[in-house]
Chain A
């Protein structure tokens, strides 16, 4: 397959990002049995940047971010987060790293047996080891308020709609103030209005918390709203890189297929 590299030129509306690299991936490979999911992944995420990864299902997008948090171990290659090699980390180091990374799962992954309040208290008491109930309450309410879900604080996850569950999952991730956010298809299964709200929320989080994010999505509207830079992935490799507008003009058939419906 023809590889194209779109040159990224800063645009006027693009937020100014610092050049410090927070995630650096070189030559990452991962196979399951005989299936080579990641063939040769090279990626850099800069501080304060929103990087969107586009690609068809099964091309290895989720596997990439699962490698970043150590849920999966790559077969080969270098994967550095804040300059530290993730592959070589022991359990303690991995735990410390994970405290700095937020991961929003496709389903929201709220703990079913807990209320929304307890879901948010869980990382505060176990990761940040907070003991003061007033401080915990304040942080929980603040995080829920940021995603517009304060009224659902004492509800069970089963009482919430898909969009609300995703926002609650986002609040749980954000309550510990992560420096890096990894979003696994944050708008999948949501209606267009809620999808837009979530996409705008991602942008707000970037600006407010100064987080660096990798967003995996099929939703072009989400990519248009949230992306500073877009990577297109095909068969375990990146085939194009650029801003949303640059890739929109791409002549590469695979790349342009994603943008066909965008006016």
Chain B
């Protein structure tokens, strides 16, 4: 009975995966501004989620290991970390490709890019530690401690570090709190320099001429020899009018608020693709994809954990 169930589950997982790939190319509509590249979202976002979930799972198993000292729990922590690493690489690569095509840059030090890179480094360090301790029990113990310790620093990365929390190119800020979507405030008489992603912006002036309220913002960014000046503006009703493109990139600067009397503005960066999921067909494919990737990760985890459990048992058996 259980075998049949497992078999059915495996088959349906395969079918679901094929379905997702089919839908990704043929069902999801093109999104204006993203073109074909937008389809990558369907695999990119679920892999990123699986990565975080696997990392959390691994930390939980590490805590359990320290309580029980059972080799099996350690093996589970390793299996989760391995699956996490695999999906972490997927997420990073698909994300970079998407960023290059759509935003015009492979790497932008956006909050989520930073955190996934750190996650990759933590995983690498975790495995490096495991390979450099000879005694088996000690190896398991130290690796578990490191895993838990690393987990404690994660919230600081996601929620606190001000540089990374100011702005993001990623759509759907609501998925991850802490990456504020409100942009940054600049003040002519105070903090007139700020940062959007890895672009340094400096407010030069803000004034109203006729219908338009226009801000002059100097932009300094990596790879740009001369400072550029952008002039985003608001129309009379307070809606963004002019949204100039960042030089050499395909994302734009948008003026959200401006107060010419006080000399303050709020600006943000805007990438094509915001609002992608408001399309019903895309939304459903996206949700199905999350579910399928979740199950795929779970299945891979089961396989890997079983192998590691057996080898952990063999390790103990050999000594007897």
State yes or no: do A and B come from one complex.
no
A residues at B contact (CB < 8 Å):
none
B residues at A contact (CB < 8 Å):
none
